[in-house]
Amino acid sequence: MKKMRFQRKDANKKLRIGSSWRRPKGLHNKRRLQKSGHAKIVKPGFKKAVGLGKETVSVSNTKDLQDLNPKKHELNILKVSKKKKLEIISEAKKKGFGFVNFNPDRYEENTKKQAELAKELKKKKQKKKESREKKESEKKPDEKDEEDKKSTEAKTKKNDESTKKAEGKDDEVAKKKKEQEELKKKTEKEVEKILTKK
């Protein structure tokens, strides 16, 4: 890949602006927004591949290594799961392949450390669970009964309060209905009196 040359924006238009790279910071700057048709910004992806001077071949399986020659080819592992990556590394090491921009020994060490940490976390969780279960089993039956009684009493109190509230509301509604009926009767009697007088 050809090495990219990044020039400062408008360096070709104005003499006072040098050609050395400066990151564009303008709010509406098209280069900063990476619009099509404008020059590209400096990114780590433009770095030149540090190879061994051999032909690079991208690999995603152990089967891809069968037709390759370690004297002519160097490997570039594609996006693969950890398990597959480790399999490819182990086979490539046996055959004597080199890797582009990748350190297989460091990767293996890191994966081992991660696996150990995961195991330790699992053990800690199991220990916590066991300790909780032991505490629950060590509790006396009288204490458990008392806790159950307290919880049931609290529930019954809540239910009683809710029923009382509902009953009170019903009484209020019945009173209102009676008052309305009495008013209706009074008004009807008054109307009848007025009509008889006429």
> Is residue 8 located within the same domain as residue 31?
yes
Each residue's pLDDT expressed in tens, for the chain with a length of 198 residues: 567 889 999 898 999 999 899 999 999 999 999 999 999 999 887 776 555 568 888 889 889 888 888 888 888 888 889 899 999 999 999 998 988 878 889 999 999 999 999 999 999 999 998 888 888 777 656 655 666 777 777 777 777 777 766 666 677 777 888 888 888 888 888 888 777 775
Of the residues 48, 68, 83, which one is the last residue of a structural domain? 48
- Give how many domains the chain has, as a whole number: 2
Model-level pTM greater than 0.95? no
What are the strands of the beta sheet with 73-77, ordered from one edge?
A: 55-59, 73-77, 98-99
> Is residue 62 located within the same domain as residue 98?
yes
10-19 pLDDT per residue, tens: 898 999 999 8
Check the CA dihedral 96-101-106-112 and report its sign. Answer: negative
Q: What pLDDT does 50 receive?
A: 59
CA neighbor of 1 nearest in space, from 56, 76, 40, 42: 56
Q: Tell me the DSSP string of 92-132.
A: HHHHT-EESS--HHHHHHHHHHHHHHHHHHHHHHHHHHHHH
For the CA atoms of the chain, what is the radius of gyration? Answer: 42
**SS3 state of residue 74:** strand
> Is residue 67 located within the same domain as residue 83?
yes
In a domain, 111, yes or no: no
Question: 64 lies in which domain range?
Answer: 55-102
| β-pair partners for 178 | none
